[in-house]
Amino acid sequence: MMRKWLSLALVLTLVVASALLATGCASSGSGEFRVGLECAYAPFNWTQTDASNGAVKIEGTNDYAGGYDVEIAKQIATGLGKKLVIVKTQWDGLVPAVESGTIDAIIAGMSPTADRKQSIDFTANYYRSELVLVVKKSSAYANATSLADFSGAKVTAQLSTFHYTVIDQIPGVLKQTAMDDFPAMRVALESGIIDAYVSERPEGVSAVAANPDFAMVQFAVGKGFTTSDDDVAIAVGLKKGQAALVTKIDAILAGISDAQRTQIMDTAIKNQPSSN
């Protein structure tokens, strides 16, 4: 009889251990809302050296993250009743990180494209923008009014984004190798390696504010890039199979009015570090 009880106890121990392993980080971080972002896409997100303007400490570093995404993440964490933890993650690593449970959510200026929806789920949109091209103010492209004006231009965009695919819509373009992040593209533009890079309007405004030698080219309807609604929207990315969490976050986002979102973005542009 004693041997049977010991066997039963061993089985129960193994079951509990397996359950804990299966839950991974969630079992030890149930009070945390772990958010992944690059911390290098101002004004959506950036890295700074202190906690000014409401910036949040980046896990495992002495730096802080600020920006529009961070402010939205703070409101979601509060609504969920959890502590916000910022996990600095390379762009290409964001989807794998949320799939594996290393992070709970992606709040990183990510568009809910059809390709991404095959891997992860998305909440309702928390921002909508438009595509622009960032150029040198002194270049001939600064006065462009249509994509055709960029024929012969050396143009790039961020790696693994739909921004890079729309470059093909520019007739006669000299499509350059995709780059890892926006700071790298700004350096390439400044040095003349490229003539322009594709971005969204908030980042374009940010780039011009940070560097007076830059200009942002916007297009009239029918003169610019053709995109889908999902391409120019931004939403929170979550691991598949979390319908309840999607519903909770959607409710929180619904409580942030359009006027508040505009104010948050305007403040982010104003507060961005000059180096971003």
CATH of the domain at 145: 3.40.190.10
- CA 212 to CA 214: how far, in whole Å? 5
Per-residue pLDDT tens digits for 6-36 = 444 444 444 434 433 333 344 334 699 999 9
Per-residue pLDDT tens digits for 174-225 = 999 999 999 999 999 999 999 999 999 999 998 998 899 999 999 998 999 9
> Per 3-state DSSP, what percentage of the chain is helix, strand, and coil (rounded to 5)?
45, 20, 35
Q: Are residues 207 and 83 in the same domain?
A: no
Q: Are residues 154 and 78 in the same domain?
A: no
Q: Are residues 191 and 61 in the same domain?
A: no
Domain that holds residue 178: 131-217
**Count of domains in the chain?**
2
Residues 6+ apart with CB under 8 A from 159: 91, 92, 178, 179, 180
Q: Are residues 111 and 54 in the same domain?
A: yes
Q: Is the per-residue pLDDT at 242 higher than 70? A: yes
Check: CB of residue 133 under 8 Å from CB of residue 214.
no
Q: Are residues 99 and 42 in the same domain?
A: yes
Q: Are residues 79 and 207 in the same domain?
A: no
This prediction's pTM? 0.77
Question: What percentage of the chain has pLDDT greater than the value 90?
Answer: 80
Q: Are residues 250 and 196 in the same domain?
A: no
